[in-house]
Amino acid sequence: MKVTPPRSIADFIDLRHRLHAAPELSSEEFATSALVAELLAGWGYEVATGVGGTGVVATLRNGVGERSIGLRADMDALPIAEATGLPYASGKAGVMHACGHDGHTTILLAAAKHLAETRNFSGTVRLIFQPAEEIGGAVQMLADGLFERFPVNAVFGLHNWPGVPVGEFRFIDGPAMAAVDLVIITVHGKGGHGAKPQDAVDPIVAASALVLALQSIVSRNVDPLETAVFTVGSIHGGTMPTVIPDSVELQATVRTFSPAVRDTIRARIKVLAEATAAAYGATAEVYHPVGFPAVHNHPDETAFARQVAVRHFGAERVGELKPLLVSEDFAFMLEKQRGSYFFVGNGPSADLHSPRYDFNDAVIEPASRYWVALVEDYLSANG
């Protein structure tokens, strides 16, 4: 994907449209990564490619400052068929930028160009263009030595948020986004004819009872002052109304903020699955891998990021969000390095992950200006 280096906000909007029209799924961001690397190198950055797969890390140094700051943007798209009807809609069937990562990449590129031209800071800037956010690509970047090879004193991430006015900023102290875990429970019975249930062990009946039993975990095993969500979103079993199947599969998502609550739910799922299945003469097999941790914003870095927004945009454009039960793999980076994750308004758009979602181009200018302000304030010659 070749593009003339953008010179103005209008050019960056055009670039965002190009990215939107050519989305790439997680770990397949080859053209996006190449474009990002080419632009950054042309602006004078030291560019490392292939970090954690298709990740790009760009470094810009200036002055004698010893501090360094990391800014992260995600690049991947989702396996969703676009339904926006836009002139720059996805050209790939079943793939679209339904979360605004095309916008996040563009915002950081716009900030990168300004920082390279003005160099109004003293220290080191690391720009992290991350692949595969939707499936945990931060893990691969960290395993590839992200913070060992490109050390920073703090790392920051930004996401657009539908429903918040364009160009306004929102911050969350402490636990900001939930840990998310997948649960797959297979209930094994004994298949048979629907007319002779006494000769079978019906896993559908056992699985139905299990769905109800699992709902008691949050209401009866989790402190009411804590937050947790347990949702069974998929149940599959059987092919005909006259046949009792051998097995039924349940798939669920678990959302938590507290590690202790997360552990409690994990333990209770196994106990309830096995006991409920046994009560109906069946057995249960539980697959419960560890997913994304919760995003925990560090207090000092969050306070600093908020102050930057107030100082440069005014208190009337800065506010708070309640903790969100959606997830974000930036959590892995915050487990390794101090930092904060915050939000910029996308206006009255469709929701994230909707086939009708589109990133609001009016966000590019204020959000890129915010990144520049954050760098300049954090790496102030007097800081």
- C-alpha dihedral, 268 to 270 to 275 to 276, nearest 10°: 90
Cα–Cα distance, 180 to 320 (Å, whole number)? 22
Residue 181, SS3 per DSSP:
strand
Instruction: Give residue 5's pLDDT.
Output: 79
Instruction: Give residue 382's pLDDT.
Output: 46
Instruction: Give residue 146's pLDDT.
Output: 98
CATH (residue range 9-176+294-378): 3.40.630.10
Cα–Cα distance, 181 to 187 (Å, whole number)? 19
Cα–Cα distance, 232 to 348 (Å, whole number)? 30
Residue 134, SS3 per DSSP:
helix
- C-alpha dihedral, 7 to 10 to 14 to 15, nearest 10°: 40
Tens digit of pLDDT at every position of the chain (383 positions) = 566 778 899 999 999 999 999 999 999 999 999 999 999 999 999 999 999 999 999 999 999 999 999 999 999 999 999 999 999 999 999 999 999 999 999 999 999 999 999 999 999 999 999 999 999 999 999 999 999 999 999 999 999 999 999 999 999 999 999 999 999 999 999 999 999 999 999 999 999 999 999 999 999 999 999 999 999 999 999 999 999 999 999 999 999 999 999 999 999 999 999 999 999 999 999 999 999 999 999 999 999 999 999 999 999 999 999 999 999 999 999 999 999 999 999 999 999 999 999 999 999 999 999 999 999 999 995 44
Please check whether residue 348 is in contact with residue 164, taking contact to mean a CB–CB distance below 8 angstroms: no
The tokens describing 366, both together, are: 């204020």
Please check whether residue 255 is in contact with residue 327, taking contact to mean a CB–CB distance below 8 angstroms: yes
Helix, strand, coil percent content, the chain, rounded in steps of 5 = 35, 25, 35
Please state which of the four CATH numbers 3.30.70.360, 1.20.1050.10, 1.10.150.120, 3.30.365.10 is assigned to the domain occupying 179-287. Answer: 3.30.70.360
Main-chain phi, psi angles of 312, to 5 degrees: -100, -20
Please check whether residue 159 is in contact with residue 135, taking contact to mean a CB–CB distance below 8 angstroms: no
Please check whether residue 189 is in contact with residue 247, taking contact to mean a CB–CB distance below 8 angstroms: yes
Closest residue by Cα to residue 202 from 238, 229, 172: 238
The tokens describing 238, both together, are: 């059987």
Rg (CA), the chain: 24
Please check whether residue 367 is in contact with residue 305, taking contact to mean a CB–CB distance below 8 angstroms: no
Please check whether residue 202 is in contact with residue 280, taking contact to mean a CB–CB distance below 8 angstroms: yes
If one counts every other C-beta atom within 10 angstroms of the C-beta of residue 144, the result is 16
- The domain segmentation of the chain, as residue ranges, is 9-176+294-378, 179-287
What amino acid is encoded at 134 in this protein?
A: E
Please check whether residue 130 is in contact with residue 73, taking contact to mean a CB–CB distance below 8 angstroms: yes
The tokens describing 19, both together, are: 């990215």
